């Protein structure tokens, strides 16, 4: 009987990393020693994800929450290594799409700074445009990135703010983006901005939104169909139980890899395709796990399973294993006072609000 995909129970295997395991089938929880330096690596985890088919993958409720989860998944797909030249170790590595918001006003329309209550300043306009515009602008951009991964460019929007602080008009003046729909989306969300305290009179300003991709591709929302075959329902429980049997061998391979690279972590996503003859193809999907031998170990273990017998029709699905845990990100530097000038744009800014802030649903 076919059932729709459901969430699988998370399988966590906890092990001590270090000692080479002679048998790939050995218990992944076997105690192991530290690396060659003698330092204890600690507890490494192997977590199995849910299975999803070639329809849409499950996502968090709410556009912002879903985007934050996608960003975390993209970071896992890159992973980490002891190699200082590995992408996630490079200075300035930034997973999320880059969104820089600037403003430009005519001289003396507003004071640059103001400590007086009820007086709007250029500093306040800039801060509010960034704080309230970042997530709407980023979501517009992500729609375009899913169609063109190299999309980038600046968009200048003419904004008219009424005496009540609400935007009365927002129109695209020019854009470098190849996707006009994204620029139109930016203008539509700019029209929803509200500035407080309101300006003393009608205010015109130029809003510049500079967009560029992050250092990791956005995870896909669905699998490309194979040979034009339609999406088919999967027996997720049966597949989950079957795939769960390889977490031990996979964990053993990971524990062995940690002896030579104690900072190794990341995700291995695999795509499994079963054709009408029962032939099974397994390949790494979207992830770029930095341990090639662990990837081979996982792919071989999946390929050895009787996948075809667990499916009564041809189809595709993905499944992932997460190894270890990300290194804590370096603390962001505290920016100095922002220097504003009505004749120049201002681009040396933090690009994204802390994702721990309350998220709109």
Say if strands 167-175 and 52-53 run parallel, antiparallel, or are unpaired.
Answer: unpaired
Instruction: Give mean pLDDT, residues 263-285.
Output: 94
Q: DSSP assignment, residue 58?
A: P
Q: Residue 165: helix, strand or coil by DSSP? A: coil
pLDDT (0 to 100) of residue 153: 98
Q: Quick check: 355 and 135 in contact, CB under 8 A?
A: no
Global pTM exceeds 0.75? yes
* Nearest-angstrom CA–CA distance, 36 and 18: 8
Q: Quick check: 269 and 318 in contact, CB under 8 A?
A: yes
Q: Residue 258: helix, strand or coil by DSSP? A: helix
* Nearest-angstrom CA–CA distance, 348 and 346: 6
> Going by C-beta distance under 8 Å and a sequence separation of 6 or more, which residues neighbour residue 25?
248, 249, 252
Measured CA angle at 102 (ends 97, 108), to 5 deg: 175
| More confident: 345 or 141 | 141
Q: Which helix or strand (DSSP H or E) is residue 16 part of? A: strand 11-16
Instruction: Give mean pLDDT, residues 273-291.
Output: 94
pLDDT (0 to 100) of residue 124: 95
Residue 354 pLDDT exceeds 50: no
* Nearest-angstrom CA–CA distance, 317 and 299: 14
Q: Quick check: 254 and 323 in contact, CB under 8 A?
A: yes
Tokens for 32, please give them. Answer: 């192991």
Rounded to a whole number, what is the largest CA-CA distance in the chain? Answer: 77
pLDDT (0 to 100) of residue 230: 57
Residue 12 pLDDT exceeds 70: no
Residues 22-76 have pLDDT tens digits of 233 333 232 222 222 222 334 468 999 989 886 678 889 999 999 999 999 999 9
Residue (of 288, 266, 330) closest to 91 by Cα position: 330
pLDDT (0 to 100) of residue 152: 97
Cα separations (Å) of 252 from 50, 89, 270? 21, 26, 18
* DSSP code string of 102-131: EEE--TTSS-SS--STT---HHHHHHHHHH
């Amino acid at each position: 009987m076919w059932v729709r995909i459901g969430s699988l129970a998370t399988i966590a295997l906890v092990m001590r990393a270090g000692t080479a395991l002679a048998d790939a089938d050995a218990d992944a929880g076997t105690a192991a020693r530290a690396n060659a330096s003698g330092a204890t690596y600690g507890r490494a985890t192997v977590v199995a994800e849910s299975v999803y088919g070639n329809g849409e993958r499950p996502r968090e409720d709410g556009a912002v929450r879903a985007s934050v989860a996608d960003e975390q998944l993209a970071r896992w797909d890159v992973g980490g290594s002891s190699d200082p030249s590995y992408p996630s170790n490079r200075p300035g590595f930034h997973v999320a799409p880059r969104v820089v918001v600037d403003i430009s006003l005519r001289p003396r329309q507003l004071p640059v700074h103001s400590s007086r209550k009820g007086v709007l300043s250029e500093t306040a306009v800039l801060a509010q445009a960034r704080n309230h515009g970042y997530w709407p602008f980023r979501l517009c951009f992500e729609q375009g990135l899913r169609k063109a991964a190299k999309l980038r460019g600046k968009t200048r929007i003419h904004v008219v703010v009424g005496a009540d602080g609400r935007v009365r008009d927002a129109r695209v003046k020019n854009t470098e983006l190849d996707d006009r729909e994204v620029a139109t989306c930016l203008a539509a969300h700019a029209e929803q901005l509200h500035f407080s305290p309101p300006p003393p009179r009608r205010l015109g300003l130029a809003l510049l939104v500079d967009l560029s991709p992050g250092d990791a591709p956005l995870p896909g929302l669905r699998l490309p169909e194979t040979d034009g075959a339609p999406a088919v329902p999967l027996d997720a429980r049966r597949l989950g139980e079957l795939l769960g049997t390889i977490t031990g061998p996979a964990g053993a391979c990971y524990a062995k890899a940690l002896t030579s690279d104690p900072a190794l972590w990341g995700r291995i996503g695999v795509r499994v395709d079963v054709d009408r003859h029962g032939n099974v193809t397994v390949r790494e999907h979207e992830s770029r796990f930095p341990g090639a031998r662990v990837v081979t170990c996982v792919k071989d273990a999946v390929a050895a399973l009787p996948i075809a017998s667990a499916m009564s029709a041809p189809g595709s699905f993905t499944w992932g294993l997460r190894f270890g845990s990300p290194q804590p990100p370096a603390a962001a530097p505290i920016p100095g006072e922002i220097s504003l000038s009505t004749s120049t744009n201002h681009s040396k800014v933090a690009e994204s609000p802390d994702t721990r802030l309350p998220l709109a649903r």
